[in-house]
Chain A
Amino acid sequence: MAAPWNTEAIDSQFKVVTPENIAFNYQVAGPFRRLVAFMLDLFIRGAIILAAFILLNMLGIGSAIANAGLDDLLQAAGTIAIFFFTWFYMAAFEYWWNGTTPGKWLLNLRVTTDDGEPINAFQSGVRNLFRYVDMWPLVPLPFAWMREEFYDGPIVLTFLFALLVPIFNRRFQRIGDLIAGTMVVIEDRSWLMKIAKIEDDRARQLADYIPPNFVAPRSMIKAVATYVERRRYFTTARRREIARHLAEPLLEKFGLPSDTSYDLLLCALYYRTFLSRQSADGTSDDNELLQNPAQATTYGKAHTPVSVGTK
């Protein structure tokens, strides 16, 4: 049943349809995760400048170059480097590193287009030029004693635009993102969770008492699986409390004694659905399900799995 509201907007998932005609979900990154990435990038830039400074001034490489008569060139290179660092650091990384910068990479963020496709050089350039707008409004501090003749005193970068604009659109886009048509997604490198094991023999026995013609609806399967995979974090009382809502009507339906453990019943249902030979939806053609496109490779035979480091 469709929800009366747009659920995509609520859980910040964004559906992408690939050219292979498969739809998968990206999670759109919120402002605060991106803020941390931005700070990291800022920190990395500062660290690089500091390292260069130490290398040149403390270790005497700078004076060595100056003695060779290249002082002027060195200063010029420094100024140009700072120019590129200020305006093009992010854009260059996003272009070369496929939509990530070092800070984004550390936080598993990636820039894609609105459609989930990779960005091009034009887009990475535009979305980063407009970082200047994000700092607005610029507020000069009203301290007269800080002002000198040609210096307006300290200016506070409020970054209000960077916080306000993403609130008003679905994909948390900054002004630069809106103009370039990009968004930032979370690209989680999560590990595969195993199917929960049901060690309790009583659950397996109880599974036999569930009527063989009972097919659980999809949403119920989802709820049961979510419960069973997390039940080890709960105390017994808490398990009972949570499982009761689903288990009570089921016990009535199956005609089981009402003092059966609610937790046990859900485990049994989980076992029946995912682990027992008897499948939930009645299909038993293992062949269709078990044939794998990866086995039929271009080389005609199955490969040994590739591990990291194999070249």
Chain B
Amino acid sequence: MKVAHLIEKRRVYWQELENLCAQMATSRKKTIGARNIARFAALYRAACADLALADSYQLPPNIVEYLHKLVGRAHGQLYRSRRIDWAQIGDMLLRQIPREIFQDRCVQLTFWLFWAVFLLSGFMAANPDRFPNFANEIVGAEGLDQMEQMYSQAPNSGTPTATGAAFYVNHNTGIGIQCFVVGITVIGGLCILLFNASYLGTIFGHMASPNVSEEISDHFFEFVTAHGPFELTAIVLAAGAGLRLGFSLISPYHKEESLYHDELLEEETSLFDKSRQVAYERIDSLRIGAKRALPIMGASAILFVLAAMIEAWVSPSALPEAAKQVIAIIASGLLMVYFIVLGYPRKDDRATR
């Protein structure tokens, strides 16, 4: 009774392993106990050995299939998803991400594109004598009317609410994430970016134009000053991160010096020429692009949340306009420090890679 006898003997262990798997899937690691974990390891090794032997000893196929599934299940419990390393987050946020952003060509591109279009459409909308229909073409007459109505009352007449803060977080970050995700189709990402730039620029320009009464334009600028720097920067960053994804899909070349050690192809390392381009398969290139883009998106999300908080608590509050301007100046200063002081490339930057 050789094979049947063997299986009968092992069945007990396999079922014990199955029970332990079920137990580990539902309860926390601490409550299982060291004894059971050690037992689990032993049983897992035994099942691995059984699987290895199963084929050579010609066990029936359904037993082999069962062992495959059992080992797979135990493997999934043994190697669980890794926890976030919180200690590393600070280092990433204050050292790696700003440098990444400072050097990222895609963020540079979206930065210049956004501000060029923003300023241009602002300028055109602010001079209705020379470009009489511009604002109407971009935003539409109803949109402009609505904006003017919205700011007909002083912003400090409303009261700041937590509901408002939550709404802004939800709404703005949602738009940011969409902007990032759509960036994978380069054209779509650029379209959204340019649309936002021209739309916002036109509204800013229109509010500054002589078509709008002084009172309304004062209200508008008082409302948007405080959260403007964070929000506009966040849009630029989200679009840049999305574009990085799209470009890494279109062009699978990466500069060797911008690659981490584990991303370099084995035979591709060169001692002398660090500025070479390394070609990847598109899917690997996309993965590398995603690895670069996600931290940028994270920074953008943080900025969106900060902007939403200011927009909800400071902008509509009764603070004097000067205070809001000070906040805007502080915010811009913080951004400069973050991107330029922290982000400026250092000599030792490459050595750590």
A contact residues vs B (CB 8 Å cutoff): 16, 18, 20, 22, 24-26, 72-73, 75-80, 82-83, 86-87, 94-96, 98-99, 110, 112, 116-122, 124-126, 129-130, 132-133, 149, 175, 178-181, 185, 187-193, 195, 218, 221-222, 225-226, 229, 273-277, 279-281, 286, 289-290, 292-294, 296-299, 303, 305-311
Contact = CB atoms under 8 A, between A and B. Distances in A.
A138 to B, nearest CB: 11
Contacts of B53: 289
Contacts of B31: 311
Contacts of B236: none
Given A22-B52, A293-B49, A16 B32 contact: no
Interface residues of B, number: 83
9 contacts: A119-B81, A126-B294, A129-B177, A130-B184, A189-B69, A190-B66, A195-B7, A195-B60, A297-B38
State the main secondary structure of chain B at its contact with A.
helix
B9 A290 contact: yes
B23 A308 contact: yes
A118 B79 contact: yes
Interface string B53-76: 100011111110011110111011
B174 interface: yes
Contact of B68 (A24, A94, A279, A307): A24
Contact of B42 (A87, A191, A298): A298
Nearest to A100: B25
B81 A20 contact: no
B87 interface: no
B72 A16 contact: yes
A306 B16 contact: yes
Contact of B82 (A121, A218, A289): A121
B139 to A, nearest CB: 13
Interface string B1-29: 11110110111111110111011010000
A305 B291 CA distance: 45
B203 interface: no
A120 B81 CA distance: 5
A238 B174 CA distance: 61
B166 interface: yes
A82 B166 CA distance: 10
